[in-house]
């Protein structure tokens, strides 16, 4: 948000980039204001206006102080900034979020930006490789919620284990969720996950661009980057959103018929979604077609 002010002081051109839509439109609501049910075009348009004004009100005093004391330019206002005139390069695929007809000519959707092989020199652990290559007919799914902070990480672990066992799948579980208030929870989670060898494998982290093409489906929190990686691999997706734009991506995945969005993480909800993404061949075909479209946009690949 500070870039536009620095560009004004330096008298240089300026554009913004973001992995989720932030430009006003009536086609869908602001990603941070996704409702449980569609509210209509007027509501969609209003969410952007309210978000922009709320953010400006929160930062206006400090921003104007920075402009005057550091940049040496006059104070400004939301109206003077004319945010709607700022060009955008959006780093998501138009196959997932088509450019709305009411976006102006300086708003561009470039496709996803991928950094291929970001972990140079990384090789899979032999145990992980053996788990993936095992002669077992059950489909493999990835489950990981990034570094989400939750109130009860042991309960999430329990839900995941029961859901996997009920769904006739095998799972690679990336333990990232945690609680700032519970001591010893991490080691206890690892112990619980290790009780089902051959069915559940716990990993600390694994490169998505390496793993996702090798498995059947992915389950995650709906962060923009993880969502992009799963869709690029052409994998059906389950999103359990926790906050912000995660609800927006969860709804997009479900609306496109390439996955499920579960608002409440329960054994019933997760196991039902796992059965769908691991057995629905039509969903897999649609996800594969979407993945092919995303991979075909070479301009979004950074090597």
The 8 Å CB, 24+ separation contacts for 65-74 are: 66/2, 66/5, 67/5, 67/9, 71/5, 71/6, 71/8, 71/9, 72/9, 73/5, 73/8, 73/9
* Confidence at 35, pLDDT banded by 50, 70, 90: confident
Q: What is the pLDDT of residues 82-135, one digit of tens each?
A: 988 999 999 999 999 999 999 999 999 999 998 876 666 788 899 999 999 999
CA distance 116 to 176: 22
User: What's the token pair of residue 152?
Assistant: 């009860």
**Please, is 72 exposed, middle or buried when counting C-beta atoms within 10 Å of its C-beta (0-12, 13-18, 19+)?**
exposed
pTM: 0.89
Contact 286, 258 (CB under 8 A): yes
What single DSSP character describes residue 120? T
**Please, is 173 exposed, middle or buried when counting C-beta atoms within 10 Å of its C-beta (0-12, 13-18, 19+)?**
buried
Q: What is the pLDDT of residues 233-247, one digit of tens each?
A: 999 999 999 999 999
How do beta strands 114-115 and 200-203 pair?
unpaired
Question: Which residues are CB-contacts of 192 (< 8 A; sequence separation ≥ 6)?
Answer: 154, 157, 158, 161
Average of pLDDT values for 133-152?
Answer: 90
Assess whether pLDDT exceeds 90 at residue 158: yes
b/e 132-160 (16+ beta carbons within 10 angstroms → b): beeeeebbbbbbbbbebebeebeebbebb
């Amino acid at each position: 948000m500070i870039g536009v002010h620095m560009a004004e002081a330096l008298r240089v051109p300026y554009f913004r980039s973001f992995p989720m839509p932030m430009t006003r439109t009536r086609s869908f609501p602001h990603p941070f204001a996704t409702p449980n049910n569609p509210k209509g075009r007027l509501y969609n348009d209003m969410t952007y206006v309210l978000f922009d004004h709320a953010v400006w009100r929160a930062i206006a005093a400090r921003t104007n102080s920075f402009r005057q004391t550091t940049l040496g330019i006059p104070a400004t206002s939301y109206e003077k900034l004319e945010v709607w005139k700022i060009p955008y390069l959006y780093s998501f695929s138009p196959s997932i979020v088509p450019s709305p007809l009411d976006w102006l000519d300086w708003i561009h959707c470039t496709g996803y930006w991928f950094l291929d092989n970001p972990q140079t020199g990384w090789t899979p652990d032999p145990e992980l490789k053996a788990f993936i290559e095992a002669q077992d007919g059950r489909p493999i799914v990835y489950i990981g919620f990034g570094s989400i902070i939750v109130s009860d990480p042991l309960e999430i672990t329990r839900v995941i284990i029961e859901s996997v066992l009920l769904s006739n799948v095998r799972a690679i579980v990336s333990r990232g969720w945690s609680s700032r208030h519970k001591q010893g929870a991490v080691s206890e989670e690892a112990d619980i996950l290790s009780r089902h060898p051959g069915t559940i494998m716990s990993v600390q982290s694994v490169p998505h661009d390496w793993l996702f093409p090798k498995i059947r489906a992915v389950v995650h929190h709906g962060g923009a980057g993880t969502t992009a990686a799963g869709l690029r691999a052409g994998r059906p997706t389950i999103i359990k959103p926790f906050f912000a734009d995660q609800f927006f991506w969860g709804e997009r995945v479900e609306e496109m018929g390439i996955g499920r969005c579960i608002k409440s993480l329960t054994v019933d909800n997760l196991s039902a979604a796992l059965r769908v993404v691991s057995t629905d061949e039509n969903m897999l075909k649609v996800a594969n077609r979407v993945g092919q479209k995303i991979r075909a946009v070479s301009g979004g690949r950074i090597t």
